[in-house]
Amino acid sequence: MSSITSVNLNSIGSRILAQIPLVSSDYSFEEGITAGDVIRYDVSDESAKQYKTSLANNAENAEVVGVVESIDDDTMNVVIFGQINFPSDKFVDNTPAGTIDGASGGNDIFFLSPSVTGGVQNIAPFQPTEVVKPVLQKMDDGTNNAVVLNYIGYSIGGEVASTNDTDTSLGEVLTVVNTDSFVTPPNYINVSKGSQYLKTTEYPEAFNYFGTQFGYTEEIEINGNRLTQSLIGQQAIQKDGRSQTYSARITGVDVGANTITVNRNSGQSQADTGKTINVDGNDYSVTKRTITRFVIPRIVPTTQYRFDVDGSATEVETVTLLKVKNTIGVTIPRKITVTDLEVTNKLTTNTASADTLDDINSTVNSINTEVSNIKTTLGLS
C-alpha cells in the first residue's frame, strides 16, 4: 500500500506556488524536466501517474499545471499562477521575418510551444490540431520577470476553424492586470470607470440576461400635437385619476418619428400604452414604447490584489471586464479541399473574370433542362 505524498500549495505574495516532492510512491517525473519548463500532470494511466512537459500539439498534451521555477534537492517548485523568475534564455522569439516583433499581439505574451516540449514562444501556434494557450506574460519588476497566466486554450481546427466563446457565461467578471499593450478582448467591455448604456440591438444576449435591473432608456411614440425640440427637459407624466403613475424627464425628441426618449431607473415601469401622457400641458396618446438601451453599472471588485515582491509592495493597475456577448467566429482560409460539399439553401459565386452567379444550383438545373430540350428536338434523347 503506497503512502500519500503531500504537495504543498502556498500563496506567496502575488503568486501561488506548488512545492512538489521529487520522491513519491504516487507519481513520477518525466526525465529531463528543468527550470522554465511548462508541465502537466498525466493521469491517463492510473497506475503510473506522471508529471510531464506540456506541448501544444494537441489538447491532451497542452494541459498545464504550471511552470517550473526551480528544482531543489528534494522539491520541484512550480508556479501555478502569478509572478515567476523565468529563465530569460527560454523566452523563445519565433517572429516571422518581415513582421513586427511578436506579430500583432506584441512581444509580451508567450504561448505554449507546439514543437518544443515544455517550451514557450512569442507567436501563437497556427497549424491544425495545435493548441493556442497563453502561458506567460512578461512583466519585469527587478526580481521576477513574468507572470504565469495559464489561460484556457483552444484547438485550431482543420481547414475551417471555428472559435466558440460560449464556454463561459454572460455576466462573467474578469480582473486583469493593465499594461500599455492591453486591449479589451472580444465579447467583453471595460466596466472599471463608470456605468454605461448599451444598445439593445447591439447586445441582445446581454439585454436578455441583465434586463432593466440597473436602468434603461425608453423611446415612446406618441400621437397628438407636433413635437418640438423644446420639449427636451420637460416631464412626461401619466396619471390614474389623481394619482401619478409615471414620471420621466425627456432627454431626446425625434420630430420625424414623433417619439420622445426618457431614461428610467431600476424598478421603474415603462409608459402605459393604455393611458395618455402629458407633456408641457398637452395630452398625447401612447402608440408604442420601446426599450432601446440598458444600463451596465460600474463594477468594483471586493477583493484587493496586493503585488508583493520580496516584501516590497508594487502598485499595479487592474481592469475589470464584463462578458456581454457570446460571439462565434469562423475563420476560412483562401483554399479549402473537401470530399463532399452540401449546400442546403443557395450557393453564389463571384470571380474577377466572370459576373456574379447568384444561384449555381438553379443555373445548372436550367442548363440541364435546356440541354434536354435540345436533345429532344434533335432526336438524340
* Torsion angles phi and psi, residue 363, rounded to 5: -65, -45
Q: Tell me which of 20-34, 168-182, 301-315, 356-370 is least confident.
A: 301-315
pLDDT, average across residues 74-87 = 94
C-beta of residue 131 within 8 angstroms of C-beta of residue 112: yes
Please tell me the distance from the alpha carbon of residue 93 to that of residue 89, in angstroms, as a whole number. Answer: 10
Residues forming a β-bridge with 289: 220
pLDDT, average across residues 12-21 = 86
Q: Tell me which of 206-215, 261-270, 366-375 is least confident.
A: 366-375
Greatest extent of the chain over all pairs of C-alpha atoms, in Å: 97
Of these ranges, 133-137, 186-190, 331-335, 340-344, the one predicted with the greatest mean pLDDT is: 133-137
pLDDT of residue 72: 93
pLDDT, average across residues 283-293 = 95
Q: Tens digit of pLDDT for each residue in 25-58? A: 899 999 999 999 999 999 988 888 999 999 998 8
Q: Please indicate whether residue 196 or residue 351 has the higher confidence score (pLDDT).
A: 196
The SS3 call for residue 22 is coil
How many residues comprise the chain?
381
Please tell me the distance from the alpha carbon of residue 149 to that of residue 109, in angstroms, as a whole number. Answer: 9
pLDDT, average across residues 123-141 = 87
pLDDT of residue 104: 47
Q: Please indicate whether residue 223 or residue 128 has the higher confidence score (pLDDT).
A: 223
Query: Is the pLDDT score of 98 beyond 70?
Result: no
Give, in order, the Cα–Cα distances in Å from 142 to each of 138, 295, 312: 12, 42, 11
Query: Is the pLDDT score of 165 beyond 60?
Result: no
Average predicted confidence (pLDDT) for the chain: 85
Please tell me the distance from the alpha carbon of residue 223 to that of residue 258, in angstroms, as a whole number. Answer: 7
How many Cα atoms sit within 13 Å of 45 on the Cβ side? 8
* Torsion angles phi and psi, residue 301, rounded to 5: -60, 140
C-beta of residue 94 within 8 angstroms of C-beta of residue 18: no
- Look at residues 107, 94, 82 and name the one whose alpha carbon lies nearest to residue 11: 82
- Which residue has 439585454 as its cell numbers? 207
Please tell me the distance from the alpha carbon of residue 31 to that of residue 238, in angstroms, as a whole number. Answer: 78
pLDDT band at 158 (very low <50, low <70, confident <90, very high): very low
Residues forming a β-bridge with 307: 314
pLDDT of residue 166: 47
- Which residue has 506567460 as its cell numbers? 136
Q: Tell me which of 63-77, 214-228, 308-322, 365-379 is least confident.
A: 308-322
Query: Is the pLDDT score of 143 beyond 80?
Result: yes
Query: Is the pLDDT score of 170 beyond 80?
Result: yes
Alpha helices in the chain (DSSP H): 204-210, 360-377
Query: Is the pLDDT score of 303 beyond 70?
Result: no
Give, in order, the Cα–Cα distances in Å from 63 to each of 154, 168, 301: 11, 18, 29
Task: State the DSSP string of 162-190.
Answer: EEE-TTS-TT-EEEEE--TT--PPTTEEE
pLDDT band at 181 (very low <50, low <70, confident <90, very high): confident
Residues forming a β-bridge with 82: 15, 148
* Torsion angles phi and psi, residue 286, rounded to 5: -95, 115
Q: Tell me which of 8-22, 151-165, 170-184 is least confident.
A: 151-165
Please tell me the distance from the alpha carbon of residue 300 to that of residue 335, in angstroms, as a whole number. Answer: 47
Task: State the DSSP string of 194-240.
Answer: --EEEETTT-HHHHHHHTTTT-EEEEEEEESSPP-GGGTTPEEEEEE
Query: Is the pLDDT score of 335 beyond 70?
Result: no
Q: Tell me which of 127-131, 172-176, 222-226, 352-356 is least confident.
A: 352-356
- Which residue has 402608440 as its cell numbers? 287
Grid cell locating 215: 436602468
Q: Please indicate whether residue 310 or residue 194 has the higher confidence score (pLDDT).
A: 194
